[in-house]
Amino acid sequence: MKKVKILVAVLLVTFGCASFTKGKEVAESKVSYFHEQLNAEQYAEIYRQSDERFKKAVKEADSTALFEAVHRKLGNVKNATLTSWRVDSTPAGTFVSLVYNTEFIGGDGVEQFRFLVTDDLASLVNYNINSPLLIIK
């Protein structure tokens, strides 16, 4: 009986870790796509594809204004390096938070993303960027 309990515990941990890793991978892929859309100035598409929580928190016009300002002041994304991540499995769903040091053509910033991940889809719940260049440029 003890061996069965240990086996069940090992299987739960293994599958749980695989689920967390898959959620992280799906969210990372969505960040790459987000950067492609930002570079292409597809702000309405970013908003349209975001989660309802994002849409309830931010009006489309405000979201567009933010993305326009980021693109105007910092330019296209050149490189983004993941610095930290977290996966939270809650009754409301699986949420993945990612933090990137992002190099834009016009300077650097720290981006924070939060996604709701369902199966192989990630939808943006929250986006934040910190860069002094957004203020002084």
pLDDT in tens, 29-71: 999 999 999 999 999 999 999 999 999 999 999 999 999 999 9
The average pLDDT across 8-22 equals 47
CB 79 within 8 A of CB 108: no
Q: If you write DSSP's letter for every residue of 66-99 in order, what string do you get?
A: HHHHHHHHH-SEEEEEEEEEEEEEETTEEEEEEE
User: pTM (2 decimals)?
Assistant: 0.85
- Delineate the domains of the chain, giving CATH numbers in brackets: 2-136 (3.10.450.590)
The average pLDDT across 78-83 equals 98
